[in-house]
Amino acid sequence: MWSVLVIALLFFVQQAWTQSCNQFSGPSGTTACVRIPSYNNQYQWATCLTDSYILQKSFKRHACISRFAIYCWYQCMLEVHGKESGPVTSDCSCSPSSLPDPALSPTTSLPSFCYSPSGTSCQWYDRCLKRKYPCRGTNNDDPLKYAEEICWLYNNRNSVFSPDGRKWVDGVRKCLQVELVPLLRPWIKPTCQDIAKTAFESQVSCYMKPDEGVPSICDLDCKEYFKIFWLIKGRYVINVETVAKSLSGLWNIDDKCGSNSTRNCFQEGGKTLIKITKLTFQKFTRRGKRSFDSTPDETARRKFADGVASAIARGLNWDTVVMGWFAYPGDVNTRDPTSLEMVMVLADKKALGIVTSSRPSFNFNQSLQQLSSAIEGATLPLQVHGYNVWVKSLSLCVDKSCDKTQTLASSDKPPVWPVPKPAKRNSCVSISPQNVGMYGITALVNMMQLMNKLAF
């Protein structure tokens, strides 16, 4: 249903701002301070935007009044809050004297496409958002990296998706950009943390409803969902902790799908796609003492779980060309804070169709048996982030939530970790200031004895 507020705003603005927002040429990004009767005659910001952007942002609830218009004004209360009437909030409020105001002018000149992204250009993040807000190189940049990777995923790996998968990825990459566009308004001054928060919070909503006529993540079949997840995960084999929160959100999306979830199908066509395991372990300092700092923040716990999984794959020489893994921490054991839990998901990338290689597919049974034997035989001395890690048990999860498990191996004896090599010592004698006199006397006596011997 189209909002009558768009009609009211157009009528008002056309009287004074027609030249600033031409219905055929725009340009996008032009701003105006307008007063609309339905908002208690209070002033608010409005932006010249494309009709396609307004339709996308509002899920087709709002549109330009003229069906021939390419551009029109979009008021802040409608765009940001979805409010068609009532008081104007402080984040949208303005006064007639606000324009022209140098303080509200964009500090960085942006191309007009920044304000109405089509979603087809992955350069939007660099040329628009990052150009205005240079948050690169900080942890706040992580959600933007993640969104950017989804965009490039469509461009670079489009052929591996089904038609529904292509529609979903295409819809999500556009949705993630559209949700960030309001941050480009000249009257908004977000911090890098604000931008990261908005980017992260928009992920789940874009997964669930990318756009009108685009399937939800809940509508995709099991294999397509796993394929999307592992393609994104594959971009972060080394530094997965930087986007672990976003990956966890995508992995746990079933909580939002409810009864529509079909993610417990781990096989298709006689091939195993994934297996999910649960491990318990303890970490020790290099001196062999238990580590009691087992309640770090969530980011540190995710990073450590990723490090343990990486060490296992490396220690058992698993072929990471055809297999993928994803690890995240389990619940904290309040009764025994030294005992840690993690979930490790293993995937056959060949079975998922995202890797073509002459190498054989990942052998789940053989690899899990190898890991079980190493745990029971205490032959897996892992070292992660400066700690020695003892894996005490391994279980196979029956379902994706890992509520039901089957024990595969357990150990009551820790492995023997390699003894750290002692630091090299300087071969030169170190003489403290208080011993200088003693060493000097000793050298003098030795020299006199030698001279006496030579004299005879």
Token pair in block for residue 114:
């920044």
Question: By CB neighbour count within 10 A (0-12 exposed, 13-18 middle, 19+ buried), where does 454 fall?
Answer: exposed
Q: What is the pLDDT of residue 337?
A: 65
Token pair in block for residue 338:
């030294």
| Tokens 């990942």 found at | 362
Residues 92, 80: contact at Cβ < 8 Å?
A: yes
CATH number of the domain at 267-410, out of 1.25.40, 1.10.12, 1.10.150, 3.30.70?
Answer: 3.30.70
Spatial neighbors of 15 by CB under 8 A, at least 6 apart, are none
Residue 194 CB neighbour total at 10 angstroms: 15
How far apart are the C-alpha atoms of 356 and 349, rounded to whole Å?
9
Q: What is the pLDDT of residue 234?
A: 79
Token pair in block for residue 359:
């190498």
Altogether, the residues listed in the chain come to a count of: 456
Question: By CB neighbour count within 10 A (0-12 exposed, 13-18 middle, 19+ buried), where does 224 fall?
Answer: buried
pLDDT digits (tens, 9 = 90+) for 274-296: 999 999 999 888 766 766 555 56
Q: What is the pLDDT of residue 139?
A: 63
Q: What is the pLDDT of residue 152?
A: 85
Q: What is the pLDDT of residue 422?
A: 61
Q: What is the pLDDT of residue 151?
A: 86
Phi, psi of 251 (to 5 degrees): -65, -35
Q: What is the pLDDT of residue 309?
A: 94
As a whole number, the mean pLDDT across the chain is 81
As averages over each run of 10 residues, the pLDDT of the chain (456 residues) reads 43 47 90 90 93 90 91 93 93 77 54 89 90 75 79 83 92 92 89 88 91 90 90 68 76 78 74 94 79 67 90 94 91 72 94 89 95 96 93 93 93 87 53 40 38 39
Handedness of CA 343, 348, 352, 353 (dihedral sign): positive
How far apart are the C-alpha atoms of 52 and 118, rounded to whole Å?
8
The runs of H, that is alpha helices, within 65-191 are 76-81, 124, 130-132, 142-157, 163-178
Q: Give the H/E segment covering residue 44.
A: strand 43-50
Q: What is the largest CA-CA distance in the chain?
A: 122
How far apart are the C-alpha atoms of 199 and 93, rounded to whole Å?
24
Selection from 141, 120, 121 nearest residue 130 by Cα:
141
Q: Which regions of the chain carry the CATH code 3.30.70?
A: 267-410
Residues 208, 171: contact at Cβ < 8 Å?
A: no
Token pair in block for residue 277:
């395991």
